[in-house]
Structure 1
Amino acid sequence: MNKKAMKCSELSILAANLPDVASRPQEEQQLILEAAGEQIKILRSIIKGGEQKKNNANSAIVELAIDATAEEFKSARIRQAVRRGADVYLPSWSAMSQALPSSFLRTALFSCATNVTSENERVLAGDSTLLVANKVIASFSSVSLVLSGNELCQFDRQVYAACLDYYRDFPLATSDCKQYQETNFYEFSRRMGNQYSKNLHKSIQASLLRLRSVELRIKYKRANLEALKLMTVYFEDDSEGGDFKASDRISICITNEIAELFGVGDWTAVEMPVVKLKGLAAWVAHFYASHSESRELSIETLYKLSGYQSKFSNFKASLKQVLEKLADESIPAHTRVSSYVFSEDDKKITVKLSPWKK
């Protein structure tokens, strides 16, 4: 029996004397009444604790008391997003990795198509004809995703992962109080693992504008988000054109709604060498990294989910080439392909990563 249960048992004995309390001396009356009041407090605490555990089990965001210890806070963030008081934090991941919701990585949200970045100049010029409305994004069976705004690509995945990384040690913003993370294009380039250049500067700025335009409707497990804004971003002097300087400031804001997609088992951290991959290789690596075991999937499904730009008849050869690349020893073990097998009719494939037991 734990201490709280023992104390509750002792108080029960005292409180049991309440029926004849009036016949007791005044000092005993006071003792019994105080015992009854204390018992009620403890019972309420036990009930509240049980309700809190039940709510946490069903929520993507675990609730911690405002006075939770640093160790409790650190331990909770290993698995999922955390709310402590009014602040909501993303899970924690290594500084050598970056993280995204698995629900994003199992769709064509960040497609491997290259035509998106080819329109960077039009995005920088504010061309609204590039915007789409209520586009259904090809998704894995457990995800429903609808996009309004600019379509996105694998470069945008890198940029958005870098934006989320700015909140690795800070609480997310609330919808009514915008807390911005301040940086510049030089530091942002470094956070992506790249050297700064003028061309990269323009690519990052165009990507941030695409990401700012996006609003999602997403259903995934417990999450049902009707109007999820990926982020808000402002540039130095709110100027979105003109000269490009490494010192140009960027103000990034991501609100706590995104934490609903960072529940237990709902997010994926990937090491930087894989984060920096491009095209189909990047999409395949992140897609499989978001899973924990192998399963047979149709090649047509992978074709649709990846947003592959060429004809379906070319996809299998490209997929095989990518899988060979991802099996190389230079790929971190967490995302390295250990084997892949095509079905006899060549319509399905089973891929296994090195860490998977099956």
Structure 2
Amino acid sequence: MRIGMIGCGNISAQYLATFPVLPDVELVAVADIDLERARAVAGEHEGVRALTVDELLADPAVDTVLNLTIPAAHAEVDRRAIAAGKNVYAEKPFAVETADGAAVLEAAAAAGVLVGSAPDTVLGVGTQTARAAIDQGLIGAPVAATATMLTPGHERWHPNPDFYYAPGGGPLLDMGPYYIHSLVTLLGPVSAVIGAASRSREERTIGSGPREGESIPVTIDTHITGVLVHESGVLSTLVMSFDAVATAAHPIEVHGTEGSLAVPDPNRFDGEVSVHRLGGEGWEAVPEQAGYVGAGRGIGLQDMATRGEELRASGALGQHALEVMNAVLEASRTGARVEIASTVARPEAVAHADVRVGEASVGG
């Protein structure tokens, strides 16, 4: 699968580091609103051409567009790529508005092209080992889950954090995809949500870079709490915050009738899974047993290249997560329970498979 990457910002470095180990994926072109930045990236990677966005979309050598633009541009760039006959794989969130994400899927279906969506971290050994443990009945029947992400805010380290505090940003749309994709992978789709939200202050101070000390406005809520009602009946409690300092909670915990499972950070591909059994004396490590080993961002493209329409990091999953997130925000504004219109199949489990340079296949 020949990739044209649009957007050469911070996250692109992680994809660029992964491409060499993906046997069925080749980066052939890059584009950016700043053409010089695209040229700098192309200059560091043999065989990669720097193009304008229009040139990349028209290039017959590109069959799949990797969309690493800012969230507000995801849907527009996806639709343009689809209109040009390309498959698309978008960074998270899938879009900003639920209707825009739905329009991308409709356009792709009409054009007969594939749509993928980050995050693909859920394909790594962390989330996949946890899924295997649940599927094997290690904790009995799942009853509830918690997903917790607390940080004092990205302005402390990001030199241009403005978009995190404007519509389309915030802790839920920024970090929520990792947690919701993981929860759906572990427990299945969501049918309804309730929510509440707040913000601690009306402006933030940039803590690094050339704009250090500059104040920026906060126009969205920065602490979000939601309860997700899964179709299975499991209740997941979600806490996403740019207003808190730290937490001792596991990133995700799944509680069942026979035990509780600690799931590692879904923003990472690996990490230890542990279980506390009913009647046990403490947490025990669960042996690694599933998922792509040593994976990095972009493994979802390899999955797309080899599995086609059965890709796991799918646009349908990205759209379902987007609808869930926007429904939590709506519930926090109205105080009402919000039903989720979409559903999605729980992605197929990933067999234990290494990702190594020179391998003929990464399995799956």
Asked if these proteins are the same fold (TM beyond 0.5), I'd say no
User: Which structure dedicates a bigger proportion of its chain to helix?
Assistant: 1
Q: Which has the larger radius of gyration?
A: 1
TM-score, with structure 2 as normaliser: 0.25
Larger relative contact order (Cα-Cα within 8 Å, sequence gap ≥ 6):
2
TM-score, with structure 1 as normaliser: 0.25
